[in-house]
């Protein structure tokens, strides 16, 4: 895994992040939001892009509008998965996309989206979970996956690789993956339910635990675990990019479910699209 420094930019009062190595690809655009520059209040302050925490929907819509505007996109360009901590990967096709023009375009029971259609904006939400951006620069085609411990240890990122190979004819060795800021390996303590689940996982050998503060409560490293899974799927280690920015340690920048101890909070969003 290559550890990279995030690119940061500020437009329309919004700070957002990006992966500098992809700026050379003029046929895509992507970004990852921070929590600044929106209209939400209280625990959602201020650029909350998710409806699920209990924020005022009108505020979320305005925040989404502001964030998407930075990329020259509108609310009705966005498609997200329902995000149920599953492993389902959905191919977003043009026919579906143009048949359902509304801001609530959500693919049920889905945590990962792939497409080769220009103009389709893939979005994923998180508050500690890992959002991974996939690019096949040859086809070209893109993917976006949401993964917490359950999705990670169920191999959802492997599912994205398989789906891109199957639907687009992508070669694993030409894929590039960028992992956005998520909860870091030193902050993500897990317990019995996770350990039991991991013990039965097909990917058990790839799961990276670090010693915890108390017995039977190790830390789970989402980025290193997903790196191992991607490598096993044939992605070149030098084309898998992570970073050291922990959402829990940087709550001035990001929403963190763990950081706020499970209380209501907002969501940041990653988006990617082919131009
Ligand atoms: Zn941390």
| Residue 11 located in a structural domain | no
What per-residue confidence (pLDDT) applies to 94?
Answer: 82
Distance from Cα 210 to the centre of ligand 1, integer Å: 13
Place of tokens 């929106």: 38
| Residue 13 located in a structural domain | no
Q: Which residues surround ligand 1, an ion (CB under 5 A)?
A: 184, 187, 246, 248-249
| Residue 20 located in a structural domain | no
Residue ranges making up the domain that contains 191: 25-274
Number of domains in the chain: 1
Distance from Cα 244 to the centre of ligand 1, integer Å: 9
Distance from Cα 186 to the centre of ligand 1, integer Å: 6
Distance from Cα 249 to the centre of ligand 1, integer Å: 4
- Judged against a pLDDT cut of 80, whether residue 104 lies above it is answered with no
pLDDT per position as a tens digit, 12-51: 999 999 999 999 999 999 999 999 999 999 999 999 999 9
CATH number of the domain residue 41 falls in: 3.60.140.10
C-beta separation of 136 from 161 below 8 A: no
Cut 0.85: pTM above it:
yes
CA dist list (Å): 235 to 102, 110, 159:
35, 23, 13
Lowest mean pLDDT among 90-99, 117-126, 140-149, 257-266: 90-99
Provide the CA 103 distance to its chain's centre, in angstroms: 19
Distance from Cα 183 to the centre of ligand 1, integer Å: 6
pLDDT per position as a tens digit, 113-155: 999 999 999 999 999 999 999 999 999 999 999 999 999 999 9
Place of tokens 């600044």: 36
- Judged against a pLDDT cut of 60, whether residue 103 lies above it is answered with no
């Amino acid at each position: 895994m290559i550890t990279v420094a995030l690119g940061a930019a500020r437009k329309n009062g919004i700070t957002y992040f990006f992966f500098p190595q992809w700026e050379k690809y003029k046929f895509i655009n992507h970004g990852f939001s921070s929590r600044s520059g929106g209209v939400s209040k209280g625990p959602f302050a201020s650029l909350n892009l998710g409806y699920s925490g209990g924020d005022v929907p009108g505020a979320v819509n305005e925040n989404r509008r502001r964030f998407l505007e930075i990329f020259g996109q509108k609310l009705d360009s966005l498609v997200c998965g329902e995000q149920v901590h599953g492993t389902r990967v959905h191919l977003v096709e043009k026919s579906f996309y143009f048949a359902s023009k509304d801001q609530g375009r959500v693919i049920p029971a889905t945590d990962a989206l792939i497409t080769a259609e220009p103009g389709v904006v893939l979005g994923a939400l998180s508050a500690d979970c890992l959002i991974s951006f996939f690019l096949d620069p040859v086809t070209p085609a893109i993917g976006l996956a949401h993964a917490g411990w359950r999705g990670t240890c169920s191999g959802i990122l492997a599912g994205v690789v398989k789906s891109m190979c199957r639907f687009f004819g992508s070669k694993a060795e030409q894929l590039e993956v960028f992992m956005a800021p998520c909860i870091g390996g030193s902050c993500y303590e897990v317990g019995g339910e996770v350990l039991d689940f991991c013990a039965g996982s097909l990917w058990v050998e790839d799961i990276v635990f670090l010693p915890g503060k108390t017995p039977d409560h190790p830390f789970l490293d989402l980025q290193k675990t997903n790196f191992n899974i991607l490598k096993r799927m044939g992605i070149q280690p030098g084309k898998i990019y992570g970073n050291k920015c922990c959402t829990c340690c940087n709550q001035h920048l990001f929403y963190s479910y763990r950081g706020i101890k499970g209380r209501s909070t907002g969501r940041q969003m990653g988006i990617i699209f082919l131009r």
